[in-house]
Amino acid sequence: MKQGGLVDDTEDVELDFSTEEEEQRALRGVKIRHPLASFLHLFFRVAAIVTYLLCDWFTKSFTSCFIMIITLLSCDFWSVKNVTGRLLVGLRWWNQIDEDGRSLWVFEDSKSSPQAGGTEVEARIFWSGLIICPLIWTGFFFTTLFCLNTDWLVLVVASISLQGANLYGYLRCKNGGQEVPPTSPSSFLQGQHFLQRPDIISRML
């Protein structure tokens, strides 16, 4: 509009937040956002249990069964520690040794980012598989112990160690890097415990 030789170019600008709100609403409505990660989270550990129960039906070689089960559990350990935990619950952990030989527990938590982590259904899948499967292996431990089957006992102990390490690490990560369960002050001071900022893991997503 021209007035007194001046041109008024001022226009009303309407901000449209409907698209962003619809995207957030759509994300909340999705029950499983990472179907492949959810599948792999359960596949390796369930396959290891099934193989343990049924391998005698297919082969009498303990070595073949041992290698197959340990391979499945190793794949499970790596995928849960590095992939499914980050995608399904927005958590990640690892342990490293510094130059002075001290054990350092490092934790990442990306839950503060709305795009990070999975849905409630995925979180239930993650924690259910993470807790139930080690309990099943613990039951196998007592069974083999009572049967005095030392060969299978070694396999079961190795299985509990692999899955128990992930369970312990994620419980500590979920609790902000605190000991679970609490240990003595002297043992706690032997390592340094960090809860890293969410922006570190958000850059990885």
Q: What is the pLDDT of residues 110-142, one digit of tens each?
A: 755 545 567 888 999 999 999 999 999 999 999
- Which parts of the chain have pLDDT scores under 50? 1-2, 4-7, 10, 12-13, 15-20, 23-24, 26-27, 114, 179-205
- What 3-state DSSP class applies to 119? coil
pTM over 0.85: no
CA 136/CA 156 separation, integer angstroms: 10
The dihedrals phi and psi of 140, each to the nearest 5 degrees, come to -60, -35
CA-wise closest residue to 178 among 155, 165, 161, 195:
195
Residue 39: predicted pLDDT: 94
Q: Would you call the peptide bond into 181 cis, given omega within 30 degrees of 0 as the criterion?
A: yes
Residue 106: predicted pLDDT: 79
- Measured in Å, how far apart are the chain's first and last C-alpha atoms? 49
Residue 117: predicted pLDDT: 63
Handedness of CA 113, 117, 120, 124 (dihedral sign): negative
